[in-house]
Amino acid sequence: MLNARCPAVRLSLSRAAFALGLAGLVAGCGLTGDDTSSATPSSGTGGMVPSIVTSGQGPIQVDPRTFEKQPNCPRLELRSETFLIMKYERGKQDDPRHLLYQASIENWARECIRVGDQVQVKIGLSGRVTPGPVWPGGEIVLPVRVSLIAGSAEEAPLKSQVFSIPVTVGSGAPAEIWTLVDESFTAGSEGSQRLIFGFDEGPQKPAKRR
């Protein structure tokens, strides 16, 4: 179901912990997909849901969407070398004694539903922020970019958005978990598009107008 990846860095947050944390966050919106297959939307109980009768069990409600062909869900891909941010005191770069904080992206998931001839994508990202030895305490804002692309990651995206995720971390405190859930991306139904994500600390190419 949910996938957990962290190239080059493996912190202690397990797939099970992410499943519990992200599931709690999005329990009301049904995020259950992974990055290789699409998930069936939550069943409804409205008047359009028919009933069938099985021997000895009585009527059972069946959602017609259960039998619909599932949409082609864009893959979620981590942009190379964008899973980690390490901030140091000015002039003390790469000196672990002067590390302010370290932030990472560790887990991601997605779910798709068909909306007309388009595919609406709901994504979930999660990671953690670990304070360094000289972090004074306070709020950290993580810049996470998600881009919808049709070709290579170097091409201008069809749509691109930077999410500013605030995380409050105390001085000497344990690592804090951050999460992002978004459903603003709509892709074509042909299945050739992808969603690329990662931390964004620099300029990006402008998005194409749709």
Average pLDDT over the chain, rounded to an integer? 75
* Domain span at 90: 3-199
- Asked whether residue 132 is domain-assigned, the answer is yes
The rounded distance, in Å, linking the Cα atoms of 97 and 54 is 68
The rounded distance, in Å, linking the Cα atoms of 116 and 71 is 11
- What pTM, to 2 d.p., does this model score? 0.66
pLDDT score for 74: 93
- Asked whether residue 208 is domain-assigned, the answer is no
- Asked whether residue 207 is domain-assigned, the answer is no
Number of domains in the chain: 1
The rounded distance, in Å, linking the Cα atoms of 152 and 156 is 9
Backbone phi, then psi, for 21, in 5-degree steps? -65, -50
According to DSSP H, which parts of 34-146 are helical?
A: none
Residues 6 or more apart in contact with residue 148 via CB below 8 angstroms: 74, 157, 158, 159, 160, 185, 187, 193, 194, 195
pLDDT per residue as tens digits for the range 105-159: 999 999 999 988 899 999 999 999 999 999 999 999 999 999 999 977 677 899 9
- Asked whether residue 8 is domain-assigned, the answer is yes
